[in-house]
Amino acid sequence: GPKVLQIPSHQIIDMGQMVTLNCDPVSNHLYFYWYKQILGQQMEFLVNFYNGKVMEKSKLFKDQFSVERPDGSYFTLKIQPTALEDSAVYFCASSFLGGGEQYFGPGTRLTVL
């Protein structure tokens, strides 16, 4: 079936550094999402992106977070600077319709030391 890819699978960085998480969504999908999950707990919505713009974001999407998808390449989540509480697994998802059936990537485990 359709696959969403995420690179890297793991990332360890020092607090205060910048990190970029990369997502390769399903090729014909138009809507892209990032979710944050700590220790297999709740999937917490961060941001929804469509047509080059942030459509909605949650309180967890701090000022240090940004997303973009330049020229149809990777859909990225950048955190600058990182904080200890940013340690989590970040899942990217994509869908053809907004709010519709989502396909999730395998996640990037981010550890901030």
Q: Which residues contact another protein by CB under 8 A? A: 31, 33, 35, 40-45, 48, 55-56, 58, 91, 97-107
Grouping H, G, I as helix, E, B as strand and the rest as coil, residue 47 is strand
Minimum separation from the CB atom of position 22 to another protein (A):
15
Grouping H, G, I as helix, E, B as strand and the rest as coil, residue 86 is helix
Minimum separation from the CB atom of position 79 to another protein (A):
19
Minimum separation from the CB atom of position 37 to another protein (A):
9
| Greatest distance between any 2 Cα atoms in the chain | 38
Tokens of 4: 């969403």
